[in-house]
Amino acid sequence: MIDIKLIRENPDLVKENIRKKFQDQKLPLVDEVIELDKLNRKTKQEAEELRAEKNRISKTIGALMAQGKKEEAEEVKKKVTEAAGKLAELEEKEIELAKKVKDIMMVIPNIIDPSVPIGKDDSENVEVERFGEPVVPDFEIPYHTDIMESLNGIDLDSARKVAGNGFYYLMGDIARLHSAVISYARDFMINRGFTYCVPPFMIRSNVVTGVMSFAEMESMMYKIEGEDLYLIGTSEHSMIGKFIDTILDEKKLPYTLTSYSPCFRKEKGAHGLEERGVYRIHQFEKQEMVVVCKPEESNMWYDKMWKNTVDLFRSLDIPVRTLECCSGDLADLKVKSVDVEAWSPRQKKYFEVGSCSNLGDAQARRLQIRVNGENGKYFAHTLNNTVVAPPRMLIAFLENNLNADGSVNIPEVLQPYMGGMKKIEKK
Q: How confident is the model at residue 13 (pLDDT cuts 50, 70, 90)?
A: very high
Q: Is the pLDDT of residue 273 over 50?
A: no
pLDDT of residue 270: 44
Q: Is the pLDDT of residue 94 over 50?
A: yes
pLDDT in tens, 117-139: 999 999 999 999 999 999 999 99
Q: Read off the pTM.
A: 0.89
pLDDT of residue 280: 81
pLDDT of residue 427: 78
Q: Indicate the SS3 state at residue 45.
A: helix
What is the pLDDT averaged over residues 333-347? 96
Q: Taking phi first (over 0 means left), then psi (-120 to 50 degrees means alpha), and beta for anything else, what does residue 223 get?
A: beta
Spell out the domain ranges in the chain.
Answer: 4-105, 122-424
Percent over 70 (pLDDT), the chain: 98
Is 229 within 8 Å of 264 (Cβ atoms)?
A: no
pLDDT in tens, 209-264: 999 877 777 778 999 999 999 999 999 999 999 999 999 999 999 999 999 999 99
Q: Which CATH class is domain 122-424?
A: alpha beta
* Domain with residues 4-105, CATH architecture: Orthogonal Bundle (1.10)
Could you tell me the end-to-end alpha-carbon distance of the chain, in angstroms, rounded to an integer?
Answer: 54
pLDDT of residue 390: 87
Q: Which of 75-84, 280-289, 394-403 has the lowest mean pLDDT?
A: 75-84
Q: How confident is the model at residue 329 (pLDDT cuts 50, 70, 90)?
A: very high
pLDDT of residue 20: 97
pLDDT of residue 8: 94
Signed CA dihedral, 138, 142, 144, 148: sign only: negative
Query: What are the phi and psi torsion angles at 333 (to 5°)?
Result: -85, -15
**Measured between alpha carbons, how far is 105 from 33 in angstroms, rounded to an integer?**
8
Q: Which residues contact 198 (CB under 8 A, 6 or more apart)?
A: 259, 260, 261
pLDDT of residue 268: 57
- Write out the DSSP string of 321-336: EEEEPPGGGS-TT-SE
Q: Name the residue with higher pLDDT: 57 or 328.
A: 328
What is the pLDDT averaged over residues 253-276? 78
pLDDT in tens, 362-382: 999 999 999 999 989 999 999
Is 343 within 8 Å of 134 (Cβ atoms)?
A: yes
pLDDT in tens, 22-73: 999 999 999 999 999 999 999 999 998 888 888 887 778 777 777 777 777 7
Q: Average pLDDT of the chain?
A: 92
pLDDT in tens, 186-203: 999 999 999 999 999 999
Q: Is the pLDDT of residue 320 over 70?
A: yes
**Measured between alpha carbons, how far is 127 from 168 in angstroms, rounded to an integer?**
33
Per 3-state DSSP, the chain is made up of helix, strand and coil in percentages (nearest 5) of 50, 20, 30
User: What distances in angstroms separate CA 328 from CA 122, 302, 336, 365, one per listed residue?
Assistant: 7, 20, 11, 23
Amino acid letter for position 101: V
